[in-house]
């Protein structure tokens, strides 16, 4: 190949995004390993395929297919860059009726997946402002979602804090926010962000922690982004009782993905109107319009609140059962070893901590891969840190959403490999 533009010069954007990243290498490695067809995939974030839920989508699509007008609306029109009108109205009414949110469609914007929404929000709220102040996005507790890690256009905008660790019984633990560390921050902030339940740990920040974060954000005059990809009211992959909260200083991010519709790419932002207007403007430039199909599948189920029932009575118990089962298998395969699992309070993952393991968990990842099991090493979830922390090399994320046979076999191999290392 002759000399191309890309090896003579590179834009800043290209430098930031087109030179590969740790996460790209990892995802590529996982993809290639899976292509051989003989691997047990406990690494990805794909939601489970739940037959009862799939049946609902099928019914909904069949109803649409019989209604020529409905099908056309779902497929052949560009929607507005804010979203599909009926969906936004139905969602606002649903949140008001069921959770007393007191919002209207002007408080809702739809994006092509919540991954996109978070990219917009981080870059709207953090980075160098027009006055030249560098505002940072604070993750008050890492480990946090791997998919945020490289989302800011300006390097060094993310700031994160280590958690406090509560050890529970012999083999469990829970992370808590270290509010003293948050109070000591002198940087100017642009927003604070948490996922609840948290990917990768299955942690659900307590109501008390959320209240304190709300006070913290109000005092610093920055919004609190709560990424609700697994939370209430849908998909409700939540094993503790919490109620969704919203006020003008909260930006709630939601998604239809973990409800079983990841390929419709439907992300939802609930926020005060000025934020919605900004998200809509960015949407128009970056995406032109929002995808309609997921919104049109879902809106009647918001109108009659049946999405609540599906989430609480089908999706939640399905994952709860799988989490309990996967923990039992791990407790058996790791018996007698100094392991701890984060308490499983939601999401699709178990987070295992192997204290003082002889090798870092990125090497454990390689060894497990050789034995046919794919997991995610812990270090990728600790971005924005000011200093290295050994704990990040002692943890792995294990996805339990796959079929039982895959999860059981994978966990058995994890047990054998980890045992050989202690
Ligand atoms: C915590 C969290 N937020 C956001 C996303 C993005 O999901 P989507 O773009 O499918 O809505 C994911 C996906 O795994 C996630 O785990």
Architecture, CATH, for domain 78-306: 3-Layer(aba) Sandwich (3.40)
**pLDDT, tens only, 329-347:** 999 999 999 999 999 999 9
Q: Where are the beta strands (DSSP E) in 242-385?
A: 250-255, 266-270, 339-342, 349-354, 373-374, 376-377
**pLDDT, tens only, 6-46:** 567 899 888 888 888 877 888 888 787 777 778 899 998 88
Query: Mean pLDDT, to the nearest integer, of 373-390?
Result: 95
> Which residues lie with the beta carbon below 6 Å from any ligand 1 atom?
45, 113-115, 145, 147, 195, 199, 227, 229, 255, 257, 262, 267
Residue nearest to atom 6 of ligand 1 (CA): 115
Report the 10 Å Cβ neighbour count for 131: 6
Same fold? 18-52+310-421, 78-306: no
Residue nearest to atom 14 of ligand 1 (CA): 45
Token pair of 231, please? 């939370």
Q: Is the pLDDT of residue 405 over 50?
A: yes
Task: Look up the CATH number of domain 18-52+310-421.
Answer: 3.90.1150.10
Give the Å distance between the CA of 241 and the centre of ligand 1: 22
Give the Å distance between the CA of 146 and the centre of ligand 1: 10
Domain boundaries, the chain: 18-52+310-421, 78-306
DSSP secondary structure letter of residue 353: E
Q: Is the pLDDT of residue 123 over 50?
A: yes
Atom of ligand 1 nearest to the CA of 256: 11
pLDDT of amino acid 3: 45
Look-up: residue for tokens 């050989």? 420
Q: Is the pLDDT of residue 201 over 70?
A: yes
pLDDT of amino acid 5: 54
Read off the pLDDT band of 78 (50, 70, 90). Answer: very high
pTM: 0.96
CA 383 distance to own-chain centroid: 15
**pLDDT, tens only, 243-283:** 889 999 999 999 999 999 999 999 999 999 999 999 999 99
Could you tell which of 201, 203, 227, 229 is best to mutate to test the pocket of ligand 1, judged by most ligand atoms within 8 Å of the CB? Answer: 229
């Amino acid at each position: 190949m002759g000399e191309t533009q890309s090896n003579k010069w590179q834009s800043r954007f290209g430098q930031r995004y087109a030179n590969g990243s740790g996460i790209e290498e990892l995802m590529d490695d996982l993809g290639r390993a899976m292509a051989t067809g003989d691997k047990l995939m406990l690494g990805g974030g794909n939601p489970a395929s739940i037959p009862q839920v799939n049946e609902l989508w099928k019914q909904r699509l069949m109803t649409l297919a019989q209604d020529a007008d409905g099908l056309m609306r779902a497929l052949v029109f560009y929607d507005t860059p804010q979203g599909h009108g009926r969906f936004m109205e139905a969602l606002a009414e649903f949140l008001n009726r069921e959770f007393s949110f007191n919002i209207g469609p002007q408080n809702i914007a739809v994006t092509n997946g919540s991954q996109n929404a978070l990219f917009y929000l981080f870059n709207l709220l953090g980075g160098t402002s027009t006055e030249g102040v560098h505002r940072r996005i604070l993750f008050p507790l890492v480990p946090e979602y791997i998919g945020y890690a490289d989302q800011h256009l300006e390097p060094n905008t993310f700031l994160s804090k280590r958690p406090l660790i509560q050890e529970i019984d012999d083999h469990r633990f829970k992370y808590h926010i270290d509010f003293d560390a948050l109070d000591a921050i002198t940087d100017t902030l642009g927003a604070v962000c948490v996922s609840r339940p948290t990917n990768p740990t299955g942690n659900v920040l307590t109501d008390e922690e959320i209240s304190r974060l709300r006070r913290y954000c109000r005092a610093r005059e920055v919004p609190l982004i709560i990424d609700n990809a697994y939370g209430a009211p849908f998909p409700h992959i939540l094993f503790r009782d919490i109620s969704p909260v919203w006020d003008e200083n909260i930006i709630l991010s939601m998604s239809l993905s973990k409800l079983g519709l990841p390929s419709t790419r439907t992300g939802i932002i609930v926020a005060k109107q000025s934020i919605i207007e900004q998200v809509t403007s960015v949407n128009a430039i970056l995406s032109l319009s929002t995808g309609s199909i997921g919104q049109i599948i879902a809106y009647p189920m918001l109108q009659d609140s049946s999405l609540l029932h599906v989430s609480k009575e089908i999706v939640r118990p399905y994952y709860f059962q799988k989490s309990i089962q996967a923990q039992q298998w791990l407790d058996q395969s790791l018996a007698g070893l100094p392991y701890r699992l984060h308490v499983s309070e939601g999401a699709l993952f178990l987070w295992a901590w192997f204290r003082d393991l002889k090798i870092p968990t990125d090497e454990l990842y390689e060894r497990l891969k050789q034995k046919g099991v794919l997991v995610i090493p812990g270090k990728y979830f600790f971005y924005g840190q000011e200093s290295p922390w050994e704990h990040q090399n002692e943890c792995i994320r294990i996805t339990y959403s796959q079929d039982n046979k895959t999860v059981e076999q994978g966990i058995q191999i994890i047990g054998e490999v980890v045992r050989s290392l202690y």
